[in-house]
């Protein structure tokens, strides 16, 4: 074998501390033993992994590559230990999901609630990430399932479209853009007004900021909040207008006085996708969850497609 787990832990530590001496102390190894382990690694690969300098050590380009694989390998080892430990606690499955803001806050909590009720021996970790971080997490194996919206590229990954994510403009009832009978409008027409947005770490904020930046215009953000509910409350009081997923807008319209206006921009209708490394390589529980998400979102989509969002508000008749 080219290396063992001690070699990997040691190399990762050396990269963090930039010191053979301190790494040896941390690993309870002698400096000579530490140096020999690194030399043996370099001999086995036939290339230098470290530059020895007066102030410490630095990784060579080959060393940087080895470090990335070592970190991924150790992450997999930790996940293996964690998964096996679950058996002692009566848990037989663990699924880690990286997802965008809409998935985390809107449809996944309800879907996961149903799934976990049906599968009591499964644990799930759901984390909000930006699209590029989601894709990287799947590529590196730090997540089992990724949920993204919009066009994605993932060489060697499986991308499974499962529903449509429609973005709409939400305004207060008295806002000029909420005039009854107005047709779909371009996003650029909203930029003269002040907006209510999500926090900077959210996928939707990142997406809209990119759209505005590419157009050479500016988004007038009056306030940023942590949830779609908080956005809608601010919008209801006419603090500003906002771009919100249709599912969230429809839900909050039941309890708030809101007008919904369709956007004419092609990007306002985005494909939702699940991303995995290899469907066949997923655990049985993860494959079951993928199928369950497809089934549940298909039912929700059928309901949303029957709703015309323009000008609708709580307590008011929906305009057909």
Q: Please write the tens of the pLDDT for every residue from 285-307.
A: 999 999 999 999 887 665 555 54
Q: What angle do CA 272, 275, 278 make, to 5 degrees?
A: 150
Euclidean distance between CA atoms 93 and 126, whole angstroms: 14
Which of 32-36, 73-77, 208-212 is least confident? 73-77
CATH architecture of the domain 166-269 equals 3-Layer(aba) Sandwich (3.40)
Average pLDDT over residues 138-154: 90
Boundaries of every domain in the chain? 5-81, 86-163+270-304, 166-269
Q: What value does the mean pLDDT take over residues 3-28?
A: 91
Per-residue pLDDT, 83: 67
Q: How far apart are CA 15 and CA 57, in angstroms?
A: 8
For range 1-29, the mean pLDDT: 89
CATH of 5-81, one of 1.10.260.40, 1.10.287.1080, 3.40.50.300, 1.10.10.10: 1.10.10.10
Does domain 86-163+270-304 correspond to CATH entry 3.40.190.10? yes
pLDDT of the residue at 223: 97
Distance of alpha carbon 224 from alpha carbon 204, whole angstroms: 12
pLDDT tops 90 at residue 141: no
What pLDDT, on the 0 to 100 scale, is given for residue 92?
A: 72
205 pLDDT more than 90: yes
Q: Which is higher by pLDDT, 30 or 55?
A: 30
Mean pLDDT over residues 122-137, rounded?
92
pLDDT on residue 320:
29
What's residue 180's pLDDT?
57
- What is the radius of gyration, based on Cα positions, of the chain? 25
pLDDT higher than threshold 60 for residue 240? yes
Same fold for the domain at 5-81 and the one at 166-269?
no
Q: pLDDT class for 79, splitting at 50, 70, 90?
A: confident
Sorting pLDDT into bands at 50, 70 and 90, what band is 88? low
- Is residue 316 pLDDT above 70, yes or no? no
Dihedral, 252, 254, 255, 260 alpha carbons, nearest 10: 60
Query: Over 80: is that where the pLDDT of 319 sits?
Result: no
């Amino acid at each position: 074998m080219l290396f063992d787990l001690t070699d990997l832990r040691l190399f990762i530590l050396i990269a963090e501390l930039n010191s053979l001496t301190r790494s040896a102390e941390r690993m309870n190894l002698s400096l000579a033993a530490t140096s020999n382990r690194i030399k043996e690694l370099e001999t086995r690969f036939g290339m230098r992994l470290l530059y020895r300098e007066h102030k410490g050590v630095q990784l060579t380009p080959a060393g940087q590559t080895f470090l990335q694989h070592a970190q991924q390998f150790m992450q997999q080892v930790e996940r293996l230990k964690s998964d096996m430990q679950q058996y002692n606690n009566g848990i037989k499955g663990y699924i880690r999901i990286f997802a965008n803001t809409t998935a985390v806050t809107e449809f996944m909590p309800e879907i996961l609630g149903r799934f976990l009720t049906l599968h009591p021996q499964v644990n799930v970790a759901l984390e909000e990430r930006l699209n590029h971080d989601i894709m990287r997490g799947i590529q590196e194996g730090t997540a089992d399932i990724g949920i993204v919206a919009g066009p994605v590229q993932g060489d060697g990954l499986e991308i499974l479209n499962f529903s449509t994510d429609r973005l709409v403009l939400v305004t207060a009832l008295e806002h000029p853009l909420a005039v009854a009978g107005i047709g779909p409008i371009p996003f650029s027409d909203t930029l003269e007004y002040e907006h209510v947005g999500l926090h900077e770490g959210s996928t939707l904020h990142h997406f809209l900021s990119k759209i505005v930046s590419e157009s050479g215009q500016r988004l007038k953000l009056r306030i940023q909040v942590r949830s779609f509910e908080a956005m809608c409350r601010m919008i209801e009081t006419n603090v500003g207008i906002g771009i919100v997923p249709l599912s969230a807008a429809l839900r909050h319209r039941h309890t708030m006085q809101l007008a919904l206006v369709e956007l004419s921009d092609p990007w306002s209708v985005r494909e939702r996708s699940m991303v995995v490394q290899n469907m066949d390589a997923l655990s049985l529980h993860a494959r079951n969850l993928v199928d369950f998400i497809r089934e549940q979102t298909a039912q929700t989509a059928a309901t949303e497609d029957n709703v015309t969002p323009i000008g609708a508000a709580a307590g008011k008749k929906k305009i057909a």
